[in-house]
Copies of this chain bind each other. A is one copy, B any other.
Amino acid sequence: MKVAIIGLGLIGGSWGLALRRWGKSEEGKSIKLEIVGFDVKATQRSEAEKQGVCDRTTATPMEAVQGADVIIIATPPAAVRETFEDIADHLVNGAIITDTASTKRQVLRWAKELLPTTVSFIGGHPMAGKTSSLEGATADLFKNCIYCLVPAPTAREEAIEAVARLVEIIGAKSHFIDPDEHDSYVAAISHLPFLMSAALTNLTSESEGWREISKLTAGGYQDATRLSGGSVPMHLDICRTNSDAIIGWLDRYQRNLSELRTMLENAGMIDERGRSRSLESTNSVPLQEYLERARLARERWEEEKARQPERDEMAEVVNMPSKRELQAEYTRMFTGGFFGKRRSNDNGSNEQPRKK
């Protein structure tokens, strides 16, 4: 089996290391695994060879995919499109293509538009939650992580099964999800937090008192701004290919902050001119309840996460959607009906789009 990895950063590198480790197992040996890598940066290619991420690298993506059974595209979102264009005419019939981009709707559109119908595209997104470069790549990066899989409607069932098997091989858990839900969910838990972090960093560091303010910064500020230090090209692509979902969550977030502001105003012992207010004129109950809801929800989330591994062991069967289910889902998506329905729930509501 020949695997091509396009994009040799943290994710591509970790895919390579995890697969090569498996290649040394009995099963791996029997299928004669060969891994070919490509990255636009020559330095990255030689570094990848040095780290043993792949058997060899090539100077172009076209050479890398020649005769490849499986192609893993681990570039930032926008480069996935370019890669599709580059490799489309060089794919063997029946090739299996997957990516690792953080947004999925746009990638699936590009696959439909640019890839031949003789190949199967199964979008992927590992929830590995780590920002780093090739140096941080490890065979264990995906261990126990949720790996979202979003097969194109034209993907063959065996191809979907093959990708699910590869995900299992690298130690992750396949999680089949439709592209619209995927993009909305990660907008809430990943893209919005990134923008919250960037906004805090810009607000504070561009304020006039920053030289003095920064002296007092400690662990809280460090955590709250950590995400803003991530890769700009990657996050720019994420924002561009998921703008509508992010804006939807950002609007709800802003409404939530506005409600919080009212609670602060009512609970405050100091008025807007900096003078003391009489305690009798304040009402701190709504603010207290708000903070208690958050503390409790955070605690519950942490407990759930701690329980995850044992729950996963109980549910060993991969919950793979049937071909018919997929077809129905995607027909809706590509004819636009799904988006139309989704947006109608979005106006003025403080809720996340209703699940179908």
Contact = CB atoms under 8 A, between A and B. Distances in A.
Interface of A: 105-106, 109, 127-130, 145-146, 148, 175, 180-182, 184-186, 188-190, 192-210, 212-230, 232, 235-236, 239-244, 246-247, 249-254, 256-258, 260-261, 264-265, 267-276, 282, 284, 287-288, 290-295, 297-302, 304-305, 336, 339-340, 342-343, 351-355
A242 B213 contact: no
Contacts of A228: 294-295, 297-298
Given A185-B213, A236-B287, A243-B265, 7 more contacts: A148-B216, A175-B215, A195-B257, A197-B224, A214-B304, A239-B268, A240-B269
Nearest to A217: B189
Contact of A236 (B193, B206, B288, B340): B288
Nearest to A297: B205
Contacts of A130: 219
A273 B291 CA distance: 34
A351 to B, nearest CB: 5
Contacts of A270: 105-106, 241-244
A235 B294 CA distance: 12
B351 A207 contact: yes
Contact of A250 (B213, B236, B261, B301): B261
Contacts of A305: 217, 222
A227 to B, nearest CB: 6
Nearest to A343: B273
Nearest to A229: B298
Contacts of A295: 198, 228-230, 232
